[in-house]
Amino acid sequence: MFSGRSSPAVLGSRQISRHRLLAYTVQNRTETKKDSTAYLRMGSGSSSSLAAESHVVIIGGGFGGTHVAKKLKGKNKFTLIDGKECLQHNISALRGAVQPGFASASFIPYSDLVGDNFKRGTVTAIDQSAKTVTLEDSSTINYTTLVIATGTRAPFPGQVPANSDKSDAVSMYDKIIEEIKSSKKIVIIGGGAVGVELAGEIATDYKDKEVTLIHPRDVLVDADIIQKAQKLMKDQLTKLGVNLVLGERVSNLSELPREHTAEMFKVLTDKGTEIEADLVLFCTGAKVNSSAYENSLADKMNERGQLKVTEFLQVEGCEDIYAIGDCNDVKETKMAYRAEQQADLLVSNLVNEANGKAKKPYKPKGVMMVVSLGRNGGIFQFGTSVFGPFMTKKIKSGDLFVKKFYKDWGLKMQKT
């Protein structure tokens, strides 16, 4: 179904075409393609390069940072810095926690993406006057333009630790698969996107597991998800067999084991609810990753650790320093798609500025959110329009954008 009550059969053919076109637009990012192509034309239209002496340094190799690199690849000098050796395609991370072999495909080496333009390391300081960044080994890298795209840090299984090697990361997912298989009663703490999608993945693949999701609020995932979508999401989770404990907070968090146990234990809430479990999965505590700039740009941060930026995504008061994605304070739902849109505009503006053309402001977009619940379920909210499993599967739930990522980068995806 497209929504909670309407099926394709009751929609006119023109409406069906519109909705299918919308899904295609979301999946293929065509919304930004036309604009970025136009922005990147300069002079006679034969070049899209910055000045020869330019060097764009990108801190953070998530979706936003790698998208900047993709736009510059083969045209301009750039360096992408990240503490991991691979990009983690974390949109698909939670399927890697239930499907054997899937996690390996969701870790793509930066060397495959950007070759010698990758520098593995952790940035500890930014010197605006010298235009350098300092790494933990005290080495420095000069920049003409700095792009900060450090994203958000979240606990496993949503993300792996900041300095992980691929082999260690994949082993972590192999281990959690075995723990889930061995468990009978699983409690997931946290009803944000990670907790909800993890519950959907487990309940879809393991019908014999008793899955309970505990969340301190009645609203799941994000406050921007409207009531109609909330109901549709909760109904699907309940149909999958997930027990929802909402409006309650876990009170014995520090006492709970961090891995599967042979003996059952109790998870307690502040409302007196007791839930028996042999595995608890922690899906709380996501924070803006500000470690690269929290000392150097402390006065440019808001209370959440995000960098304050202008309409052109430039860090306020900082020449040639920009921030995109989760680590900036643009008021819109934070998601990979939006980070890539910001990356498109940023690179286009850099080219325009280098060629004496006017920059264009970034205009925050309305709500567009796709929450997958296993391979066949989920909700898709576009503004105030809500669609159900049929549309969600076409857009995201089927393969969680992994195949598209490999295709967009011209890489061959390994079999899972």
Whole-number mean pLDDT of the chain? Answer: 89
- Bridge-partner residues for 243, per DSSP? 212
Say if residues 199 and 238 touch (Cβ distance below 8 Å): no
Q: Which two tokens stand for residue 221?
A: 């995932």
Check pLDDT > 90 for residue 380: yes
Higher pLDDT, residue 10 or 399: 399
Using CA atoms, how far apart are residues 35 and 311, in angstroms rounded to an integer? 17
Residue 1's pLDDT is what? Answer: 30
Residue 250's pLDDT is what? Answer: 98
Using CA atoms, how far apart are residues 360 and 315, in angstroms rounded to an integer? 16
Find the length of the chain: 416
Of 10-24, 121-135, 336-350, where does mean pLDDT reach its minimum?
10-24
Query: What are the tens digits of pLDDT across the range 126-166?
Result: 999 999 999 999 999 999 999 999 999 999 999 999 999 99
Mean pLDDT value across residues 51-72? 96
What backbone phi and psi angles, to 5 degrees, belong to 167? Answer: -60, -40
Q: Place 48 in a pLDDT band, splitting at 50, 70 and 90.
A: low
Residue 17's pLDDT is what? Answer: 38
Residue 179's pLDDT is what? Answer: 97
Of 4-8, 29-33, 324-328, where does mean pLDDT reach its minimum?
4-8
What kind of fold does domain 8-159+287-368+398-409 have according to CATH? Answer: FAD/NAD(P)-binding domain (3.50.50)
Q: Distance of CA 320 to CAs 3, 353, 364, 380, Å?
A: 45, 11, 21, 37
Contacts of 15 (CB under 8 A, 6+ apart): none
Mean pLDDT value across residues 295-324? 97
- Bridge-partner residues for 281, per DSSP? 188
Check pLDDT > 60 for residue 359: yes
Which pTM was predicted?
0.86
What backbone phi and psi angles, to 5 degrees, belong to 261? Answer: -125, 150
Q: Place 23 in a pLDDT band, splitting at 50, 70 and 90.
A: very low
Mean pLDDT value across residues 36-57? 57
Check pLDDT > 60 for residue 110: yes
Q: Which two tokens stand for residue 54?
A: 């330019």
Residue 38's pLDDT is what? Answer: 33
Q: How many CB atoms lie within 10 A of CB 11?
A: 15
Characterize 320-340 residue by residue with b for buried, 16 or more Cβ atoms within 10 angstroms of its Cβ, and e for exposed. Answer: bbbbbbbbbbbebbbbbbbbb
Mean pLDDT value across residues 329-347? 94
Q: How many CB atoms lie within 10 A of CB 269?
A: 17
Q: Identify the residue whose tokens are 């023109």.
A: 14
Using CA atoms, how far apart are residues 298 and 246, in angstroms rounded to an integer? 36
Mean pLDDT value across residues 239-244? 98
Residue 416's pLDDT is what? Answer: 58
Check pLDDT > 50 for residue 32: no
The 8-class DSSP code of residue 127 comes to E
Residue 12's pLDDT is what? Answer: 33
Using CA atoms, how far apart are residues 294 and 70, in angstroms rounded to an integer? 27
Using CA atoms, how far apart are residues 11 and 31, in angstroms rounded to an integer? 25
